[in-house]
């Protein structure tokens, strides 16, 4: 099984050109250039072409009331997205994106992820958290500032640890009640203020499964734009395979062998569970773990 | 040189007991118990005892107008901190903490880091970013909610990548204008929405030094409570040692050999620069890199 599976939502060829963001004249020139392209969206979901790729349209099609976000430059073309004034607040609850992710290549999903996380952040952060005043977009869409108290606000990225507990060659898989039937995955949770990645992994394994981490190794990461997580996948050696499951978080959890995980990832008949989809970091984590000697 | 240097701000023995946060009766009982302790602070800085450790006081000393934060349980005692109504808005700009970090052990600094990041977040997030209404503390201080639009807001953790570019056995060090004289460190920058750790490392090295990352390996992480970063330290193999420095970010940067870094970390006379302090992840990163064979 290949270990060089590209994690979901990674590999965009977009050059973010962050120096442009702080240069209003350059930004205006790029937005007004004939080569500039606007990401085509339906609500907050992408519109795919007949090859299953993102579609881009002319800047003339942007809504005059929109806030423009500069995504970067790709194939020599400045790329933008917009926060439309008519975007419904519940747009991010649509499930349509998950069907598209079955066909959208990771590098295209990567470009889209930045746009989606930013749009969703702007929609939910129109007011200054420090003083309550309406804020304005700045830095080419990579922040909002407050004219009243002068606070600057930047888009959130919420780090999440996702991990396989490992004990004597077996790893722990679990399922949350909201998962599709038969789906199991690695355990996961938000990293909190005052924690390292390694400490967050140990805390989550303790809280959710009652196991004690002895050593934690980082494996791989990806963004997860629902709305704006950074998924950091790890493997943790644990002291014992005795479990104390937190049933408020997990519906079920059990230990699986390498052969059992291989059967799952190969889609064999009789496999013990259904794997996470290829665009989820747990999928990459299982593949990387299988590839370890 | 030892590679098991404990990263700064890690190793707290506090059990966060997150289930207590969502149980108001249990929370009130813990806050009212005789064993409960309140972190002693001067503004947002800790008050150290004569052994250089954190000091704790009775809950009776809390300000009646404070918002209470439940930090967790340590040594059998519930531990709290408070957001005082009289906390000056610029309290976090005091530099006193950096002198204390020279003596505060990492595990004590770790407990303090959670308190500091949370207090600072509450002070700067009293209003709902979605609708502008004043919010209220909930979940034992690990969030704020809006009575108007029902939005829930959680404390930020801002992931930062910090990395050594490596080329033919040498690594790249740089200094920002604000550093103390002679101090050099690893390059660093905030991870952005839509990026993996590996991609953020590659982008920052490209932006700041004009080098192309071929492979990125994660090394170690720590929280950095100024105000609420997660520092993720990496080493990146790069294609060439030719540099294009972004002088808006860096004042200077140069390549150093393993022997030169060892001289720096051993504090030898004639060493090429002064190292980052032991509580900074760059210090740990240099030590781990030196320990690699």
**Binary contact (A129, B125; C-beta < 8 A):** yes
* A229 CB within 8 Å of a chain B CB: no
In angstroms, the separation between the Cα of residue A169 and the nearest Cα of chain B is 23
Provide the token pair at A132.
């309550």
Kindly list the distances between the CA atom of residue B221 and the CA atoms of A17, A182, A198, B33, B105, in Å, as whole numbers in the listed order.
27, 34, 7, 35, 17
Q: What are phi and psi of A67, to 5 degrees?
A: -95, 125
Scanning every residue of chain B, which has its alpha carbon at the shortest distance from the alpha carbon of A112?
B194
Q: What ipTM score was computed for the predicted complex, to two decimals? A: 0.97
Interface test with B, best of A9, A132, A194 (most B CBs within 10 A): A194
Q: How far apart are the first and last CA of chain A?
A: 12
Provide the token pair at B91.
């309290």
Paired residues of B81 in beta bridges: B69
> Residue A193 is nearest to which of B157, B192, B198, comparing CB atoms?
B157
Going along chain B from its start, the domains and CATH numbers come out as 1-123 (no CATH), 125-156 (no CATH), 158-291 (3.90.79.10)
Residues of B in contact with A131 (CB under 8 A): 127
* A154 CB within 8 Å of a chain B CB: yes
- Is residue B14 within 8 A of residue B20, CB to CB? The reply is no
Residues of A in contact with B195 (CB under 8 A): 114, 223, 230
Report DSSP letters for A87-113, one per residue: --TTGGG-SHHHHHTTTS-HHHHHHHH
Tens-binned pLDDT, residue by residue, of chain A (293 aa): 445 789 999 999 999 999 999 999 999 999 999 999 999 999 999 999 999 999 999 999 999 999 999 999 999 999 999 999 999 878 888 889 999 999 999 999 999 999 999 999 999 999 999 999 999 999 999 999 999 999 999 999 999 999 999 999 999 999 999 999 999 999 999 999 999 999 999 999 999 999 999 999 999 999 999 999 999 999 999 999 999 999 999 999 999 999 999 999 999 999 999 999 999 999 999 999 999 97
In angstroms, the separation between the Cα of residue B230 and the nearest Cα of chain A is 7
Quote the CA–CA distance of B46 and B110 in Å, as a whole number. 12
pLDDT digits (tens, 9 = 90+) for B200-259: 999 999 999 999 999 999 999 999 999 999 999 999 999 999 999 999 999 999 999 999
Scanning every residue of chain A, which has its alpha carbon at the shortest distance from the alpha carbon of B192?
A157
**Binary contact (A155, B190; C-beta < 8 A):** no
Provide the token pair at B131.
């609708």
Owner of token pair 């747009």: A91
């Amino acid at each position: 099984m290949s270990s060089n599976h590209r994690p979901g939502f990674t590999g965009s060829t977009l050059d973010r050109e962050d120096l442009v963001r702080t240069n209003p004249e350059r930004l205006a020139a790029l937005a007004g250039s004939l080569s500039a392209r606007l990401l085509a969206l339906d609500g907050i979901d992408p519109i795919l072409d007949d090859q299953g790729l993102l579609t881009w349209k002319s800047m003339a099609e942007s809504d005059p009331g929109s806030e423009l976000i500069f995504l970067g430059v790709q194939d020599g073309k400045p790329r933008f997205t917009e926060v439309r004034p008519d975007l419904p607040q519940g747009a991010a609850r649509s499930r349509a994106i998950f069907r598209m992710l079955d066909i959208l290549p990771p590098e295209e999903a990567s470009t889209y992820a930045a746009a989606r996380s930013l749009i969703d952040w702007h929609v939910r952060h129109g007011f200054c958290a420090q003083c309550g005043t309406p804020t304005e977009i700045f830095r080419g869409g990579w922040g909002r500032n407050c004219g009243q108290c002068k606070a600057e606000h930047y888009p959130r990225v919420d780090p999440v640890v996702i991990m396989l507990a490992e004990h004597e060659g077996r790893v722990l898989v679990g399922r949350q009640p909201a998962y599709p039937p038969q789906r199991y995955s690695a355990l996961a949770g938000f990293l909190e203020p005052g924690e390292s990645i390694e400490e967050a992994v140990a805390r989550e394994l303790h809280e959710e499964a009652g196991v004690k981490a002895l050593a934690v190794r980082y494996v791989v990461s990806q963004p997860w734009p629902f709305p704006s997580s950074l998924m950091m996948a790890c493997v943790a050696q644990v002291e014992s395979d005795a479990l104390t499951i937190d049933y408020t978080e997990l519906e079920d959890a059990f230990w699986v062998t390498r052969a059992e995980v291989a059967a799952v990832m190969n889609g064999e008949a009789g496999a013990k569970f259904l794997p996470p989809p290829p665009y989820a970091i747990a999928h990459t984590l299982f593949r990387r773990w299988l590839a370890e000697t």
